[in-house]
Amino acid sequence: MGGRDTDIVLLDENGIRCDGRKVNETRKVTIKAGVLKNANGSAYIEFGDNKILVGVYGPRDVHPKHLSDTDTGILRCRYHMEPFSVGERKKPAPSRREVEISKVIKEALEPAVMLKEFPRTAVDVYMEVLQADGGTRCAALTGASVALADAGIPMRDLVAGCAAGKAADAVILDVNNEEDQAGQADLPIGYMPNLKKITLLQLDGVLTPEEYKQCIEIGIDGCNQVYEIQKKALQDKFFSNGDKQ
Amino acid sequence: MSSERKRHVIPGEIITSGPYRAEQNTIQVGENIISTIVGLSDVHDGSVRVIPLTGGYMPKDDDLVIGKIVSHSSLSWTADINSCYVGMLPASDVFGRDYSSSSDDMTAKLAKGDLIAARIVNADMTRDPLITISGRELGKIDSGELVKISPNKVPRLIGKRGSMIQMIESSTNSQVTIGQNGLLVVSSEDPNGLLKAIQAIELIEEQAHVANLTDQVKEMLESKSE
Amino acid sequence: MSDGLIIDQLKKTQILELLQEGKRVDGRQFDEPRKLSIDIGVIPKAEGSARARLGDTEVVAGVKVQPERPFPDTGDKGMLICTAEILPIAHPTAETGPPQPDVVELARVTDRGIRESGMLDMKQLVLEKDKSVIGIFCDNAVTDHDGNLFDACSYASTAAINSCKIPKYEMQDEKPVKIEDEFIEPPITTLPVSVTMAKIGDHILVDPTIEEWGIMDARITITSNSDGNVVALQKGGSDGFSQEELIECAELSIKVGSKIREIIKQSKQSDN
């Protein structure tokens, strides 16, 4: 959270944000399920200008064997940004940020994925960020849930992701890149919409207790909106009446 | 209790609430029975299940499967059965209990890359499932073409009392060995028949969820081949 | 990576029998590549990008441009570096972690094919001699692997670099400064195109699928430029080629390459 000085007007006198949105509006989200030939399940998500491709393999054999668990399957997640996905080219090797985000997303999905059904196996989730514009971890998490469902991995619920935040002293929904750089707080949320549980939560910035409450409320609302798009992606792939896309 | 209409469901969606038994691909959460996968919910006789439209193969006892030999030890062969679990074929299944086989004996019988029709003997998930190739219509597969479909499409391919697969076999003069794991071997004396049979299978894979599938397949089989 | 793939015996027999009859499993001629489609500008925020689909193989290439310090011995030239990575989503046997030898080979062959062809006139990408030059990075990400990654990466890279926009930089106080909203066209001199051929017995097959790759005896990747000259070569696999076969391969590569070059040119025009 930079709180950097900027020439960009984050919120004008009409309550309009730098990209034309109102404070409680998410960016445009589209998701397509089943886009890769080899992966067991996959999804491509565009969340604003974020473009993320997710592939799932599994349940599958674990190598080396000592990593497997006799009582349960294990979930492995990798969040990775392509060198060309960000403004200044990123070196291919995994950064500490990517390692942390991979872990946080794994822990956001674990409550949903029913791993005990597949002892001694692994479910691998690979999230590849092709273009980044703020809020990639929420978008990656959202795509990962769809890819897992596409692969037929049993889940208690989907997990939808959306960030709330604060910029120009106002609580906002779905923080974009400029708002992340120059704003005051960024609160990514991962949420299971039917079980009503928050499984991903982080904060970068400063919030009063009242702002914190508002962020959570507006964030859950955002997640519910994103969930509708996840549902649509799966319905379009599996339930449409034989229409070729 | 009456049966409800089949509904399209996704993971986490509530199918129904009340005193029902949660069966395949469902779980009970409080009062509600929810789906754990993408599929068609089916409520009747007081129980709820979801027919999957996704997912890989989970070995079940007595299933007939097509496997590919990937390696062997002195005691058994390992076969890829298109599942997250590999099939173990003990050497004694082929050589008899007291015969102690050498590596050459093993490879001469079944080598890496060979395809087999096998039956699952013991599918307990705490270890890899045991398979057998001693039995009628089991053993090494020498000819035919291997086709792969999603395992959850297999029931559709077989059809009610085998009606769909019989229609394909008789109209194309071919024989199809169907593995419950989604692997099939198609053979025919007639190369055009072989091609038609495979096309019919691919059509079923693509359109399994569509209501008039049987008519579509019939139409495809009856049309003149190029 | 192909070591992890065990082609089943039935498939192997089928491929070999068909080859004896002059046929391939997917109905192609021996000198016919799979359908190629190229979309440029798929990553709008990068300075250039292209997605190449060769059959079911898919590669996304992104071009990033930024000022760099030149290499010590070439202070009068810009920098061009290509990389390639097989993403773990691309194939069940693709691994994460430090790249395996076959992935390192893929990256280096892709890089040589673009750089040694002289595709970009690097002398025109200097901001201040020996101090600051323009660095162009073309990173290839394989998203779906169905064989012949060498060619898919070559086409994605050539299309991405060919259609990129290089920001204008000016030296101010000894430092390169980007001039917003001003771009220069990349100094393209030629369009390199690689063609990979697999040798199975006595048969030479252009653009092998992953199954043909799994049973081949040897392979060769030949890159040609717009003038029909050979600019890069890489032989792989555990068998050898005869002299006659190598000449045949070069001719095939130039012939097939020129048709592919047209598709790459088309991708830039149809976007305008």
- B209 in contact with A, Cβ within 8 Å: yes
Structure tokens, A190:
């991962």
Supply φ then ψ for residue B192, to 5 degrees: -70, -40
Contact state of A241 with B14 under an 8 Å Cβ cutoff:
no
From the CB of residue B215, how many other CB atoms can be counted at a distance below 10 Å?
10
Chain A residue with minimal CA distance to C56?
A37
Residue A242 has pLDDT above 60, yes or no: no
Does C66 sit within 8 Å of A78, measured CB to CB? no
Q: Cβ–Cβ of C144/A51 closer than 8 Å?
A: no
Rounded to the nearest 5 percent, the helix, strand and coil shares of chain A are 30, 30, 40
Q: How far apart are CA A53 and CA A39, in angstroms?
A: 11
How many angstroms away from the CA of B143 is the closest CA of chain C? 7
Is B144 close to C14, i.e. CB distance below 8 A?
no
With contact defined as 3+ CB pairs under 8 Å, the chains touching C are A, B
Lowest mean pLDDT segment, chosen from B188-202, C158-172, C192-206, C253-267: B188-202
Task: Select the residue from C8, C15, C18, C26 to test the B interface by mutation, using most B Cβ atoms within 10 A.
Answer: C8
Domain C10-269 CATH superfamily: GHMP Kinase, N-terminal domain (3.30.230.70)
Mean pLDDT for A151-162 is 97
Both tokens assigned to B29: 């959460």
Chain mean pLDDT for chain C: 93
* The predicted structure's pLDDT at residue C269: 81
Q: Does residue C66 have a pLDDT over 70?
A: yes
Tokens 């074929």 found at: B89
Which among B38, B55, B85 is the nearest to A234, CB-wise? B38
B60 in reach of chain A (CB within 8 A): no
B55 → closest Cβ in A121, A152, A193: A152
Q: Categorize the per-residue pLDDT at A7 as very low, low, confident or very high, splitting at 50, 70 and 90.
A: confident
CB contact under 8 A, A149 and B13: no
pLDDT higher than 70, residue A33: yes
Cβ contacts (< 8 Å) between C137 and chain A: which residues? 83-84, 89
pLDDT at B226: 44
Query: How many angstroms separate the CA atoms of B47 and B52, rounded?
Result: 16
Note whether B141 contacts C10, CB cutoff 8 Å. yes
Residue type, C5: L
**Structural domain boundaries in chain C:** 10-269
Chain C contacts in chain B segment 1-60 (CB below 8 A): none
pLDDT of A241: 58
Per-residue pLDDT of chain B (226 residues; tens, 9 = 90+): 445 678 999 999 999 998 999 999 999 999 999 999 999 999 988 999 998 888 889 899 999 999 999 999 888 999 999 988 899 999 999 888 877 777 778 889 999 989 999 999 988 777 889 999 999 889 999 888 899 999 989 998 999 899 999 999 999 999 999 999 999 999 998 888 888 899 999 999 888 777 788 888 888 888 865 4
pLDDT tens figures, A35-86: 999 999 999 999 999 999 999 998 998 888 888 898 999 999 999 999 999 9
In chain C, pLDDT over 70 holds for what percent of residues? 97
What's the pLDDT score for residue C58? Answer: 98
Nearest-CB residue to C10 (from B111, B112, B115) = B115
Element (H, E) at B157: helix B154-158
pLDDT of residue C1: 33
Whether B12 sits inside 8 A of A192 (CB atoms) is yes
State the complex-level ipTM.
0.90
DSSP C4: G
- State the DSSP code for A117: G
The CATH homologous superfamily to which domain A29-237 belongs is GHMP Kinase, N-terminal domain (3.30.230.70)
Q: How far is CA C239 from the centre of its chain?
A: 24
Q: Cα dihedral angle (A192, A196, A197, A201), rounded to 10 degrees? A: 70
- Confirm if A169 and A211 have CB atoms less than 8 A apart: no
Confidence of residue C144 (pLDDT cuts 50, 70, 90): very high
pLDDT for residue A243: 43
CB proximity list for B133: less than 8 A, separation 6 or greater = B89, B93, B94, B116, B117, B118, B119, B139, B140
Q: Note the pLDDT of residue C241.
A: 95
CB contacts of A106 in chain C (<8 Å) are none
| 8 Å CB contact between C54 and C148 | yes
Q: Burial letters for B185-208: b for 16+ Cβ neighbours within 10 Å, e otherwise?
A: bbbbeeeebbbbbbbbbebbbebb
Say yes or no: B111 contacts chain C, CB-CB below 8 A.
yes
Interchain proximity A194–B13, CB inside 8 Å: yes
Residues of C in contact with A88 (CB under 8 A): 64, 66
Rounded to a whole number, what is the distance in Å from the CA of A231 to chain B's nearest CA? 7
Peptide bond preceding A111: is omega within 30 degrees of 0, i.e. cis?
Answer: no
Q: Is A83–C66 a contact, with Cβ atoms under 8 angstroms apart?
A: no
- Give me the DSSP letters along C22-56: T--TTS--TT-PPPEEEEE-SSTTSSEEEEEEETT
Joined tokens for residue B94: 């082929």
The arrangement of strands across the sheet holding A50-61 comes to A29-33, A41-47, A50-61, A121-131, A74-81
* pLDDT 10s digits, A180-211: 999 999 999 999 999 999 999 999 999 999 99
Interface residue A150 vs chain B (CB under 8 A): yes
CB contact under 8 A, B113 and C14: no
The whole-angstrom separation of Cα C110 and Cα C114 is 6
d(CA C262, CA C106): 24
Residue closest to A143 by CA, chosen among A36, A21, A238: A36
| Sequence spans of domains, chain A | 29-237
Beta carbons of A120 and B207 less than 8 Å apart: no
**pLDDT tens by residue, C95-136:** 888 899 999 999 999 999 999 999 999 999 999 999 999 999
- pLDDT class of A6 with cuts at 50, 70, 90: low
Residues C19, C21, C26, C27: is their CA dihedral positive or negative? positive
Residue A5: pLDDT band by 50, 70, 90 thresholds? low
* B52 inside 8 A of chain A by CB: yes
For residue C272, pLDDT beyond 70: no
In the DSSP assignment, the letter for residue C188 is B
CA distances from residue B219 to B165, B205, B209, B224 in whole angstroms, order as listed = 15, 16, 17, 10
Average pLDDT for A116-123 = 93
Give chain B's domains with CATH numbers: 7-52 (2.40.50.100), 64-141 (2.40.50.140), 145-222 (3.30.1370.10)
Contacts of C23 in chain B (CB under 8 A): none
Q: What is the pLDDT of residues B204-213, one digit of tens each?
A: 988 877 778 8
CA A40 – CA A58 distance, rounded (Å): 7
- Partners of residue B153 in chain A, C-beta under 8 Å: none
What residues of A are in contact with residue C141 (Cβ under 8 Å)? 82, 128, 130
Q: Could you tell me if C221 and C150 are in contact, meaning their C-beta atoms sit under 8 angstroms apart?
A: yes
Chain A segment 68-87 residues within 8 A of C by beta carbon are 78, 80, 82-85, 87
Beta-bridged to residue B76, according to DSSP, are B90
pLDDT in tens, A80-112: 999 999 999 999 889 999 999 999 999 999 999
